Amino acid sequence: MHNAACHRTRLAANNVVSIDRCSCSTIHLNVGAMSLRFTGEAFERLASAVCEALGRAAALRSAAEIGAEAPLGASPRGEA
């Protein structure tokens, strides 16, 4: 967990999010005023799920562009 002796290293950033790694191994995901802290393993699982979602979203977008049906198992959802 983060304490005063921890030092953060910026791993990535853009105009929406920044990601830091603390010297105590905590990963900090900062979105606007919100900050989420993850263990390394939990962050890897989050990143994996985000990558999977990106792939599925791209497939749905491509299917919609060519007028094909959505892949099996895909369920439409509202925007978050």
What are the two backbone dihedrals, phi and then psi, of residue 9, each rounded to the nearest 5 degrees?
-120, 130
Residues 33 and 44 in one domain: no
pLDDT, residue 63, reads 81
Residues 34 and 44 in one domain: no
Q: Is the pLDDT of residue 10 over 90?
A: yes
Residues 1 and 33 in one domain: yes
In a domain, 67, yes or no: yes
User: pLDDT digits over 23-78, tens only?
Assistant: 999 999 999 999 999 999 999 999 999 999 999 999 888 887 787 655 555 565 65
Q: Is the pLDDT of residue 17 over 90?
A: yes
Assign 1 a pLDDT band (cuts: 50, 70, 90): low
Residues 20 and 31 in one domain: yes
pTM for this entry = 0.69
Residues 2 and 33 in one domain: yes
Residues 26 and 14 in one domain: yes
Write out the residue range of the structural domain in which residue 63 sits.
40-71
The separation between the first and the last C-alpha atoms of the chain, rounded to the nearest angstrom, is 29
Assign 14 a pLDDT band (cuts: 50, 70, 90): very high
Residues 33 and 1 in one domain: yes
CA distances 36 to 32, 33, 64, 70, Å, are 11, 10, 34, 33
